[in-house]
Amino acid sequence: MELNANARIVLESRYLRRNQEGKIIETPEQMLERVALAVAEAELHWGQASDVREMAASFFHLMNEKLFLPNSPTLMNAGMLSGQLSACFVLPVEDDMAAIFHTLSLAALIQQSGGGTGFNFSRLRPEGSYVRSTGGTASGPLAFMQIYNAATEGIKQGGKRRGANMGILNVNHPDILSFIHAKQEAHQLENFNISVGIWNDFFKALNAGNTYTLRFSDAHTKPIIRKISAVQLWKKLIHAAWATGDPGLIFLDTIQRFNPTPDIGLIEATNPCGEVPLLPYESCNLGSINLSRMLKQNHMHGWEVDWEKLQHAVQLAIRFLDNVIEMNHYLHLELKRMAMGNRKIGLGVMGWAEMLIRLGIPYDSQQALQLASQLMQFIQQQAEVASATLARQRGSFPFIKQSKFYRQKRRNATLTSIAPTGTISLIAGTSSSIEPLFAIAYKREHVLNNQTLFEINPAAMEILSGQKHFSEQMLDEIILKGSVQHIKQLPESVKRLLKTSLEIDYTYHIAHQISFQRYTDNAVSKTINMPESSTEADVEKAYRMAWQQGAKGITIFRYGSKPDQVLHAGLKKEDEIVRVLESEIHDCKSSCRL
């Protein structure tokens, strides 16, 4: 497995097996062999030992060539005693003390094993309301979120990474204003992403300038009803998002409209990054195709998409992810029942920015958006073919009669999802998910036990090293700024092709999210990056645009709005980057290749 310096750091820190003394006892290739064999053993349920060997070899090649990688818990735990392979879970939070702490206990086990957890806290009664069982008053959703946050703080996932949570409160909950302001003070709910679950009726009230009703009721107490100006609530939400990046929005009506199993229940929550809306106790197994490896060279026109290679990778990846469901170790019987019943998987992509650069297509162009839709439609279609083939061999998912697919042969209730791919894209040595390049050169802080990783993009280096006036001095300037827009010697076409995240208008960020969402079963995790100079009006326009165009959720990030920001554009002269980047820069200038 060909790896750059940062990939090796990540693998050694989190993924490779260690003995009792903490010494690494596994190479990256042995890790892939372990994962491939463990996942291929599912073939025994329908075949024989020779099928396992054959499929293990295919899975190994798929990962070793960095064509596809599964989510982190699968890489960490497949073939290990823990054996918990799923990336994300949604757990119910009912208005009962025993149930609240039962859910917390299960969340702790999930996070310890490497999974992330999502919750909707809207069933909890508002702060200060009457509690009939004790005669006292309720603490409210935020108090219990603080407890969940504190528990997560003490849990390292699998001893390798911090827990991650999504906390959702519906816009009509009486405590919504407190929730909106929950992260405006530094270091509050640091282990949570938070989002407002928003209904279409709120936007109706907002557009009309009407009041909006906040309501809480249960079977035992008098309903709590409050009226609030929809405009004032919206302004407070927008200000908080502008100031801190939180809360995001989850569009509940849109999510429910695409719920594949509406007869089983309502979807009210997502995983921590929002790419998988799930029913209570559901989980999802994720993996991503590396688009930067789905290209071939045409001697007449340069790079082009290798559709045949992509088709093969998608169909094999779907089989891999379906096998993961069989080989998973479930931490609770209800988790197993829901996972086996709906067999949800989420195949996504990474390396989109690098694919566009090699194809010579600017990210902020209609051509890029058209290719995004074409590409994801192809992936979705091939995933459906693979799932139908598996259904003929293995049977459709058991809950199919309660789904929108009850007349079809289909192995999985969902097939596709666009995840952030934060660490697996580092392993693959490519750009994250469907994001543009954050910067040509940047540093990643507060990761891997607070190590700092320095990165320079190889696809950008391919373009730059081929330019007429490229020099060591130009490279130094690019590394210092993380951008090429100030380099006078470069053609405007190159500058546009190598625009970075904060140099691309937010409307194109949203447009990419929508283009991929159009052909994605689950949802799309996409950060809508904004420069520090962005206004609250910009945030409002982004949120409205996402809702109007059919996104399932939205998260914005205004550069510099968080005190512990992970990514920083450009590298200062005092940064110790030479050992990390020197060999990679040399390789890119001399022989960058797929």
User: Read out DSSP for 419-435?
Assistant: ---HHHHHHHTS--TTP
89-116 as b/e: b if 16+ CB within 10 A: bbbbbebeeeebebbbebbbebbbbbbb
Residue 60 Cα distances to 375, 427, 429, angstroms: 25, 15, 17
Distance of CA 63 to the CA centre of its chain: 19
Here the tokens at position 362 are 């600017």
Reference 161, options 13, 270, 19, 283; nearest CA is 13
CA distance linking residue 153 with residue 75, whole number of Å: 23
User: Read out DSSP for 266-291?
Assistant: ---EE-TTSS-EE-TT-EEEEEEEEG
Reference 438, options 420, 463, 451, 424; nearest CA is 420
Tracing tokens 């100030």 back to the chain, one arrives at 486
- Give 138's contacts (C-beta < 8 A, 6+ positions apart): 124, 125, 126, 127, 128, 129, 130, 131
Main-chain dihedrals φ then ψ at residue 482, nearest 5 degrees: 80, 10
Any bridge partners for residue 527, and if so which? 555
Give the catalytic positions in this structure: 271, 273, 275
User: Read out DSSP for 311-372?
Assistant: HHHHHHHHHHHHHHHHHPPPSSHHHHHHHHHH--EEEEEE-HHHHHHHHT--SSSHHHHHHH
* 3-state DSSP assignment of residue 260: coil
